[in-house]
Structure 1
Amino acid sequence: MILVTGGLGMIGAHTARALLDLGQQVVVTSHRSTDVPSFLAGEATVERLDVTDREAFLALGQRYEITDIVHLAGSIPADDPVAYFRTDTTGLLNALDAARSWNVRRFAVASSIGVYTGRSENPWHEGLELPDAELPHLIVAFKKAVEPLTIHALQGSGVHPILLRIGSTWGPLMDPESPFNFVPPYVSALQRGEQPAPLRAGEGGDSCYAPDAGRAIALLTTAETLNHTIYNVSSGRPAMQSEFAEALQIETVPGGQLTPHLDISRLTADTGFIPQYEPSAAVAHYVAWRSKNPR
């Protein structure tokens, strides 16, 4: 059985769905949310868990025979950065403690495309040295710290760490007014009968639809063999705002710039992963989902 912490969040839920599609048994944990998405209902086992509670976390191993862990649980920073770092570091350490105690095969943990901030190359690949640069958000700062903490905590344990450098992911279950991606708020505006601002035809960069991200993580977790520890998780190509504008049937204006995207050659070579959703297909799927679901 595979444990997915944060398994009712956007990426976690789609990872759980992909694992189920691969024939795996899955237990997902959630701290606050009790709403199980329709695509998981009745198939994944759901456990309420505060990952900062070490005793409760380790107790899962007494109820389930867990073979692998995908640690995606995380909190949202408030006013106190130290409190945020303390909470998410405690959750990470408890998950690592569980991985060692249960002698799992693999421990996959969320990192971020943001760790490459400061590199000028395009695309970004896993062999690049991470620069000492000012990071755009507290979450990115924590994700960058996750990588050495995980590697050193599992050293000599027999547990294979997988660092998931996850790209700009959006899709079902994302906050419909998210400031991190323009598509959900644009769909919300269109549902309200409003006309959102035109998109910039020359603007583009990394973009990955959540079901694709979940499937990539599931393939990395279940692959018979892996040749690396660090994997980029995304679509592998830049997505242009003009593509989304065409799918949403809204106007574009000239201008914009192309920002770096993630190279997924390593992911594809080791798992055979190929994205299923181009921007037009992703928008069509997401609009259909939002017509029946609030987020």
Structure 2
Amino acid sequence: MTWLVTGGAGYIGSHVTHAFRRAGTEVVVIDSLASGHEEFVPNDVPFVRGSVLDRELVLRTLTDHAVTGVVHLAGFKYAGVSVEKPMLTYQQNVTGTVTLLDAMAEAGVTNLVFSSSAATYGTPDVDQVTEATPTAPESPYGESKLIGEWLLRDQAAATELHHTSLRYFNVVGSGSSELYDTSPHNLFPIVLRALAAGRTPQINGDDYPTPDGTCVRDYVHVADLARSHAAAARALEAGRELEPVYNLGSGDGVSVREIMDAVRTVTGIDFTPVIAPRRAGDPARIVASGELAARDLDWAMRHSLADMVASAWDAQQRHPAAS
């Protein structure tokens, strides 16, 4: 079997690609390199540069490589920026998914693992969300991911598509010092770049209705996340029925201030973060249960918060110019 990983040269996608290869599964990657890096793709993995909006390129990739399943990670993922650029977000995330599903149907590819988001929940009025928690996204990004789930549901009703969607929020750390987060918007790279440059990191808002006033999230290690993507793909390939949606959650979550404390401890750099205004589209708290994923997708929090910070800091130190 061969699986296509869309966005497979990105931070999460490259970890998923490496997880497939470690499991002995053949992989092909398609990525526009808008935010990905070709050097993140293993040398023995075919790489196709292009966008999932290019239907003919996607169809050709599926057929030329005899693809049997797809992990769909390509898209625009920044909730705050999506408020400013809603049309770009919908084009990349909704139109891109429609185009992929259309090409898959023509090529006869019937297995799909979709990278969704805990942003689909908005700010739920519960301590811990489950897959049954009502969705109420608060940003175009969250809305686009929920629409993506609907597209899979409707396509499955009309065709032989077998699918599952994985919802998660903040993905951090590095599974290898050669694979790292280069996002200009994600908390870990922003904080670590600031420290490496001698600047003081900042917290966006300390007046949220949380114990310490800062946002509370599930922070999950990227290698743990990649492992469950690969497990989901194997389950679909084996013909197992999966839930339509799984949360890859920690069950408890940590705050941004707690992240700053962990960074201070791990790096040995003393600092007091600057308090900046809130970012648009940031809910106060999202913490999800991972019980269903633990049951079906080999999901577990195998890395502590200190592990997450240490692996990210090591990668940043090794690649200061690129990160």
Q: TM-score when scaled to structure 2?
A: 0.79
The range that moved more, 259-268 or 235-244, is 235-244
Unmatched tracts of structure 1, length 5 or more? none
Secondary structure, counterpart of 1:127 in structure 2: coil
Instruction: Supply the AA of the counterpart residue of 1:275.
Output: M
Instruction: Supply the AA of the counterpart residue of 2:169.
Output: G
Instruction: Supply the AA of the counterpart residue of 2:302.
Output: Q
CA distance in structure 2 between the partners assigned to 1:162 and 1:106 by the alignment = 9
Aligned counterpart for 2:265 among listed residues 234, 242, 246: 246
Query: CA offset at residue 194 of structure 1?
Result: 3.6
1:109 aligned partner: 114
1:207 aligned partner: 219
CA distance in structure 2 between the partners assigned to 1:258 and 1:244 by the alignment = 21
Aligned counterpart for 2:182 among listed residues 155, 165, 175: 175
Query: CA offset at residue 8 of structure 1?
Result: 0.9
After superposition, the Cα gap between the structure-2 partners of 1:90 and 1:195, relative to the gap in structure 1 and judged at 3 Å, is closer
Contact 2:59 2:104 in 1 (8 A): no
Contact 1:206 1:239 in 2 (8 A): yes
Query: CA offset at residue 142 of structure 1?
Result: 0.8
Query: CA offset at residue 90 of structure 1?
Result: 2.3
Query: CA offset at residue 197 of structure 1?
Result: 5.4
Alignment deviations for residues 145-184 of structure 1 (CA, whole Å, 9 cap, x no partner): 1111221022242221211212221345323542x42x22
Q: How many residues align?
A: 287
After superposition, the Cα gap between the structure-2 partners of 1:272 and 1:212, relative to the gap in structure 1 and judged at 3 Å, is closer
1:41 aligned partner: 42
Contact 2:27 2:45 in 1 (8 A): yes
Q: Output aligned runs, 1:1-295, within 5 Å.
A: 1-32=2-33, 35-38=37-40, 40-75=41-76, 77=82, 81-131=86-136, 135=138, 137-172=139-174, 173-175=180-182, 177-178=184-185, 180-181=186-187, 183-196=188-201, 202=212, 203=214, 204-223=216-235, 224=238, 225-240=240-255, 241=258, 242-249=261-268, 250=270, 259-293=285-319, 294-295=322-323
Query: CA offset at residue 79 of structure 1?
Result: 5.8
CA distance in structure 2 between the partners assigned to 1:251 and 1:195 by the alignment = 7
After superposition, the Cα gap between the structure-2 partners of 1:258 and 1:141, relative to the gap in structure 1 and judged at 3 Å, is closer
Alignment deviations for residues 123-150 of structure 1 (CA, whole Å, 9 cap, x no partner): 111012224x6x1x32112112111122
Unmatched tracts of structure 2, length 5 or more? 175-179, 274-282
Query: CA offset at residue 89 of structure 1?
Result: 2.4
CA distance in structure 2 between the partners assigned to 1:164 and 1:73 by the alignment = 14
CA distance in structure 2 between the partners assigned to 1:222 and 1:233 by the alignment = 17
Secondary structure, counterpart of 1:108 in structure 2: strand
Contact 1:29 1:48 in 2 (8 A): yes
Alignment deviations for residues 179-233 of structure 1 (CA, whole Å, 9 cap, x no partner): x42x222211221234445898945431112222222211111124243110112
Instruction: Supply the AA of the counterpart residue of 1:191.
Output: A
Query: CA offset at residue 292 of structure 1?
Result: 1.8
Structure 1 vs Structure 2 CA RMSD: 2.8
Query: CA offset at residue 41 of structure 1?
Result: 2.8
CA distance in structure 2 between the partners assigned to 1:87 and 1:184 by the alignment = 23
CA distance in structure 1 between the partners assigned to 2:119 and 2:51 by the alignment = 26
Instruction: Supply the AA of the counterpart residue of 2:243.
Output: H
Instruction: Supply the AA of the counterpart residue of 2:161.
Output: V
CA distance in structure 2 between the partners assigned to 1:290 and 1:233 by the alignment = 25
Q: TM-score when scaled to structure 1?
A: 0.86
